[in-house]
A and B are shown apart, each in its own frame.
Chain A
């Protein structure tokens, strides 16, 4: 079985995000970019499937600017076998919307015929949480979102989902699309031998046009704002005072 893992290049989670002066979005010029952390978990899961003998090939795909090549190299260094880069924008500030990404992924799936697509539940830049679901709809495949456990057994898979208020276990038919949550696994570091091998692994370059997908934005960003600054805390002298203050604030 082949595993397809879409990976997105996003602003590094350690970077303090700055909103552009015109409010059109977040400043991405000269900031550190990394693989979306949820996608790292997806790559890890794919490699574990391969190590467990349940998959025989892991293919990483990234859609975006040319620099996403670095993100794919990271996936290769973690242990993916090959990579596909779909160039869909020249400007680092142009985000490709979930529907366009899903359409391109659907074409890649047609070409590659994976048995499973493992994606992050959302990317930490726009938090859309939509690509996996849209891909499922486009392909007519089953889906298991927010996965914290995955157990593939022949032509079905058991997926534990992190839902509001608890865990839900579902069984889906293969092929399927799984979007992964934080607790599924802990991604490995790239080993030094794999880092050195990554360069020799194949990385195919395509464009959105090759797949006939129009990536023109359909959504308009009206405004981007910094979150409101947190008000300073106060130090209370006793439990009584704490309760009193909480009552004043209407919290109890």
Chain B
């Protein structure tokens, strides 16, 4: 066992931390107020990240990425978690799933995404299919040699910046002993494809400026060349590549919780009531103790899950535990920090109210806490026949 970071890892952490502090923090209040990231600012952040060689650092070197291990990349994500998600979006971590591109799709999607020339968004969720992905209604039907798509997707993040979309669409049904089961295929859809439209979504209290959109398909025609992976192979592609996003939520939550905790710690040491720092009251002091304990636990769960991925060990359950625990710990930490700040915690003079609002979505997206518990419990119980 060796729990320390290597010199390289220390430097990765301190570089990303300084980047977030110097290039992201100063713009956060404006993004929060206006609910958007000015185009020029997003592009400027992106260019700096490209120059630093951190853009698409989650991709292997042979396609132009930095070839970071899962552990190294998780450290990057953890530090990015400190900053506004609307802004760190431009730190550029395209979906790993693009590695499923065939040689012709590489030039159109994978390589330009890694170079920062084209941005992607991922669309799975529908109004009637959230946790139950297989319940999706958006479908593609064969017409000649093409596919004709009809249906919609909602809650699609980052769509306003996306040049193309990775979309999961039903391409048929199998009758199984357990009832009908949809077959799913992954498609690459360019913005501007006839019959495909991106519309404004809902207003979320979490992550102002990191907006969600609704995608509409109305007899949208796509050739086979737009299929990512195999026809009907959507679940295979998902299982092979989408674990990464859940680990990302865990890492984000740890980074954000540490930033929030620093506010709580300093406030508890400085704010005086009844003639002494409030941290001296056991009621507050013990909250500080519980918070740091939970944050450290979440950190180690997350790093250990990433380490397991690097060792090619089974890690589905461990990633689910990390996502579950870290996102729930973040919710408790932001709530407790707000409480320690008293009335000021609610005011937008401090970022605490924003941390508290942002934290709420982490327990919902990329698989709700309940779905993570489902994954963990099935992983343990299924082998026992229960």
Chain A residues within 8 Å of B, Cβ to Cβ: 34, 69-70, 73-74, 77, 189-196, 198-199
Contact = CB atoms under 8 A, between A and B. Distances in A.
B11 A195 contact: yes
A192 B54 contact: yes
A193 B53 contact: yes
A190 B66 contact: no
A79 to B, nearest CB: 12
B10 A192 contact: no
Contacts of A77: 11, 15
Contacts of B7: 69-70, 73, 198-199
B11 A190 contact: yes
A193 B18 contact: no
A189 B57 contact: no
B8 interface: yes
B365 interface: no
Give the 8 A-B CB pairs with smallest separation, nearest first: A192-B53, A191-B53, A193-B53, A195-B11, A191-B52, A73-B7, A192-B66, A192-B54
Contacts of A189: 15, 18-19, 52
Interface string B20-59: 0000000000000000000000000000000111100100
A190 B53 CA distance: 9
Nearest to A14: B21
Given A191-B52, A198-B11, 15 more contacts: A34-B14, A70-B10, A74-B11, A74-B14, A77-B11, A77-B15, A189-B19, A189-B52, A190-B15, A191-B51, A193-B66, A195-B8, A196-B8, A198-B8, A199-B7
B12 interface: yes
Contacts of A193: 53, 66
Interface of B: 7-8, 10-12, 14-15, 18-19, 51-54, 57, 66
Nearest to A12: B14
A195 B18 contact: no
Contacts of B15: 77, 189-190, 192, 195
Contacts of A199: 7-8
A34 B15 CA distance: 12
A195 B51 contact: no
B279 to A, nearest CB: 14
Contacts of B14: 34, 74
11 contacts: A69-B7, A73-B11, A189-B15, A189-B19, A190-B11, A193-B53, A195-B8, A195-B11, A195-B15, A196-B66, A198-B8
| Chain A CB within 10 A, most for which of B8, B10, B11 | B11
B169 to A, nearest CB: 36
A196 B53 CA distance: 11
Contacts of A74: 11, 14
B357 to A, nearest CB: 27
A189 B8 CA distance: 14
A156 to B, nearest CB: 33
A184 B18 CA distance: 20
B115 to A, nearest CB: 15
Nearest to B67: A196
- Between A34, A192, A195, A196, the greatest number of chain B beta carbons within 10 A of the residue's beta carbon is seen for A192
A172 to B, nearest CB: 33
A12 to B, nearest CB: 9
A34 B18 CA distance: 12
A111 to B, nearest CB: 25
A39 to B, nearest CB: 15
A22 B7 CA distance: 33
A77 B10 CA distance: 11
Contacts of A34: 14
Nearest to A188: B52
Of B8, B10, B12, B18, most buried by chain A (CB within 10 Å of CB) is: B8
A161 B8 CA distance: 36
A190 B51 CA distance: 10
Contacts of B53: 191-194
Contacts of A191: 51-54
A69 B18 CA distance: 20
